[in-house]
Amino acid sequence: MRVALAVIAALGAILLFLLASASANTALFAENYPWLLAINGIAAVALVVLVGLQLRRLRRDFKSGVFGSRLKSRLLLMLSLMAVLPGALVYGVSMQFAVKSIDSWFDVRVDAALEGGLNLGRSVLDTLQAELLEKARSAALDLGDDAFVSPSRLNRVREQAGAQSATLMTLSGQVLGSSSGELGSLLPSVPAPSQLRLARSGRGLALIGDAGDAGGGGLMVRALAPVSSSGLNLDPRILQLTLAVPLSIAKSAESVEAAHRDYQELQLGRVGLKRIYTLTLTLALLLALFAAIALAFFLAERLARPLLILAEGTQAVASGDYTPRATVEASDELGVLTHSFNSMTHQLSEARAQAEHHRLEMEAAQAYLESVLANLSAGVLAFDVRFRLKAANRGATAILGDDLAGFEQIRLQDWPRHETLAGAILGGFARRGDEWQEQLEIARPDGMPQALLVRGTALPGAGGGGYVVVFDDITRLIAAQRSAAWGEVAQRLAHEIKNPLTPIQLSAERLQIKLADQLTGASRELLDRATQTIVNQVEAMKNMVNDFRDYARTPLPQLEALDLAALIGEVLGLYENAAAAIAALPAPTSEPLPPVLADANQLRQVLHNVLTNAQDALSETADARITISMVQDSGRARLTIKDNGPGFPPQILSRAFEPYVTTKSKGTGLGLAIVKKIVDDHGGEIRLANNNGGEITIWLPLAVQDAVRGI
């Protein structure tokens, strides 16, 4: 700002010098007036910009409520008034003095006299032109019927008109005759072809110009009139009369015009001088005003600087910033105050650092706790004292299959979903106190039951109170326990039942052999029928025991990368002549399904069991169809086998994977149980559903982990 002020002051001094020089020399002023005006405009704009920037910054600080901006505004206003009021007074007096002085240099009567003389000279010349043109028209009428006009005739025309010369010419400027009678010498000046055509198209033309050599200098009036003729074969002709303006009149007109022109130049200089003085005084006023405003800003900033430092410091402390502020090196009270403020902020910074350390420790502990809760496989729900949901971890949303969006504004008893779980939580705290545990089953949308182990704990009132509910999905655990129990039962059955079956069968066959020859008629038929019944039932029991043995002794799968689509195509080749139409649907995307991690032999057994059950379910269905589809689903391969049969009965759907649960009149019901065990051993998942027919969905892990990460 100081550099700008120095530059503007130097520029103002230069402009004042130039303007003063121009006012003393009118010619110099008239020649360089545009440049001086442009430089003055640039200087004025620069002043306005600098002052505007300062005022804009002050206005921004004032609107923002910056401490000290009001003080700056008052100081600026007072100092500006102190400079503007006297400056405006001096400016007004100087302007009046300059304008009156310049106006006194010029006399209005002289201006009017020069204007009158100039008009009088113009009137005399106009009168001479009109009279000569009228005489030329009259002479042209007299010459109209003559095909040839002699010089003597033209001389008479000249004498009658009182003209200096009379010339007859064509439209092209060719002289046909002259009042001198000598065509080759002393020919008068010929008008331009455009002037001749203009005179021919109208009633004539009067011109005034320099007399040249013919007139001995001065002015000459020229009248051109068309010569009309009745003959059809005569070319158009123009009569020219010239008359020299009296030398006294010409000189008087020229002197009046020169005097008027000089006076107009003086008048122009008069206006320029007024502008010069106006610009000079205006520039001086602007420089004074700018200097006053700059000084006001300088003084205001110097006085308000300590207060601004304290204001910034208090605002920074309020926002949590305890960085030491700049101090004022002064021995007065404001300087001591800034040093004391820095000491206070240093102490506050140390206290804040300790508080921040404790806060970070608490946040780290809280983040660790949140990370543990988020990565727990168990579901965790936190409620306030009014049973409104406050938090739910990922395990809870995964187990419930619901993101619980919007449940924070709903009380637990008003939940639109998961009514069974909500009722169990409310009943547990109402009936069993602050700590309880309960196992319950909730229905899934696909009809399969879900077993949950729910634990509830009331939080202490010192921390705000509330309730925490932790629950685990034990569906697969219960299924595994049941599978293990059935495996134990199968082993005991195979051991306890199969051993006596063979002696029973052999004894029955021996009785038939020994007694067959001793009995006749109905007794022998009874013996044959009884022994055959014993043999058949023993064989059936052997088959049942073998099935239970196979279920209990299912070997662990030998996992390897397997092309699931190729395996399905191989299995479907065995069902080409099946009663139901079996088709594999194409994948919805062009990318092939990555290999799965599975045992090919056990997966064939799974497919055979599922397809056999589907065909049995479609035995009484017309247009029986079975479809198989494969897609990639959340990093796993999803295999869906769907038929258009009656579907699964509701009472069977929840227990279909348990041994000896079947809708068939014959069979042990171990097919789906074996399928479930094989899928579980593969680390997969299987679900049943009714979707316009029976539907079995199997999820298997992918073998290529890169493909899993790229999904």
**At a CB cut-off of 8 Å and minimum separation 6, what does 523 contact?**
none
Question: 111 exposed, middle or buried (CB, 10 Å; 0-12, 13-18, 19+)?
Answer: middle
547 and 564 in a single domain? The answer is no
DSSP string, 665-683: SSS-S-HHHHHHHHHHHTT
Domain for residue 279, yes or no? yes
173 and 294 in a single domain? The answer is no
The first and second tokens of residue 474, run together, are 């034990």
Q: Please determine, for residue 144, whether its predicted confidence score (pLDDT) is greater than 60.
A: yes
Nearest-angstrom CA–CA distance, 385 and 416: 20
Q: Please determine, for residue 302, whether its predicted confidence score (pLDDT) is greater than 50.
A: yes
Lowest mean pLDDT, pick from 146-160, 168-182, 423-437, 682-696: 168-182
Domain for residue 348, yes or no? no
Residue 324: phi, psi to the nearest 5? -60, 145
Q: pLDDT above 70 covers what percent of the chain?
A: 70
140 and 228 in a single domain? The answer is yes
Q: Please determine, for residue 263, whether its predicted confidence score (pLDDT) is greater than 80.
A: no
Q: What angle do CA 37, 40, 45 make, to 5 degrees?
A: 125
Domain for residue 572, yes or no? yes
Domain for residue 363, yes or no? no
Q: Is 217 left (phi over 0), alpha (psi -120 to 50) or beta?
A: left
Domain for residue 143, yes or no? yes
Last residue of a domain, one of 186, 216, 245: 245
Average pLDDT rounded to a whole number, residues 314-318: 75
CATH number (domain holding residue 572): 3.30.565.10
Domain for residue 361, yes or no? no
3-class SS of residue 578: coil
pLDDT one-digit tens code per residue, 191-238: 888 888 887 887 788 887 776 544 455 678 888 888 876 655 566 788
Q: Please determine, for residue 29, whether its predicted confidence score (pLDDT) is greater than 60.
A: no
What is the count of structural domains for the chain?
5
Structural domain for 290, as ranges:
2-105+263-312
pLDDT of residue 93: 78
222 and 154 in a single domain? The answer is yes
CATH number (domain holding residue 380): 3.30.450.20
Lowest mean pLDDT, pick from 181-190, 397-406, 542-551, 640-649: 181-190
Q: Please determine, for residue 286, whether its predicted confidence score (pLDDT) is greater than 60.
A: yes
548 and 564 in a single domain? The answer is no
pLDDT of residue 640: 92
Average pLDDT rounded to a whole number, residues 63-87: 74
Q: Please determine, for residue 183, whether its predicted confidence score (pLDDT) is greater than 80.
A: no
Average pLDDT rounded to a whole number, residues 30-57: 70
578 and 529 in a single domain? The answer is no
Residue among 700, 698, 702 at smallest CA distance from 686:
698
617 and 701 in a single domain? The answer is yes
Q: What's the whole-model pTM score?
A: 0.39
Q: Residue 438: enclosing H or E segment and its boundaries?
A: strand 435-443
Domain for residue 359, yes or no? no
pLDDT of residue 247: 72
Cβ count near 531 (within 10 Å): 20
Average pLDDT rounded to a whole number, residues 375-402: 81
pLDDT of residue 272: 62
Last residue of a domain, one of 211, 245, 279: 245
3-class SS of residue 661: coil
pLDDT of residue 180: 55
pLDDT of residue 490: 66
Average pLDDT rounded to a whole number, residues 28-38: 60
Lowest mean pLDDT, pick from 1-10, 326-335, 470-479: 1-10
pLDDT one-digit tens code per residue, 668-697: 667 777 888 888 888 888 888 888 888 889
pLDDT one-digit tens code per residue, 581-632: 888 888 777 678 889 999 888 888 888 888 888 888 888 888 888 999 999 8
- Asked if 606 and 678 count as a contact pair (C-beta separation under 8 A), the reply is yes
pLDDT one-digit tens code per residue, 514-539: 787 777 778 878 888 888 888 888 87
pLDDT of residue 181: 39
66 and 194 in a single domain? The answer is no
Lowest mean pLDDT, pick from 123-132, 380-389, 558-567: 123-132
Nearest-angstrom CA–CA distance, 572 and 410: 52
C-alpha distances out from residue 504 to 262, 508, 537, Å: 156, 6, 10
Domain for residue 369, yes or no? no
498 and 435 in a single domain? The answer is no
Last residue of a domain, one of 245, 275, 291: 245
587 and 533 in a single domain? The answer is no
- Asked if 389 and 406 count as a contact pair (C-beta separation under 8 A), the reply is no
Residue among 574, 576, 680, 689 at smallest CA distance from 642:
689
* pLDDT, greater one: 335 or 15: 335
537 and 409 in a single domain? The answer is no
Q: Please determine, for residue 105, whether its predicted confidence score (pLDDT) is greater than 60.
A: no
Average pLDDT rounded to a whole number, residues 43-54: 74
149 and 200 in a single domain? The answer is yes
pLDDT-based confidence at 707, cuts 50/70/90?
very low
The first and second tokens of residue 69, run together, are 């901006």
Question: 287 exposed, middle or buried (CB, 10 Å; 0-12, 13-18, 19+)?
Answer: buried
Q: pLDDT above 90 covers what percent of the chain?
A: 2
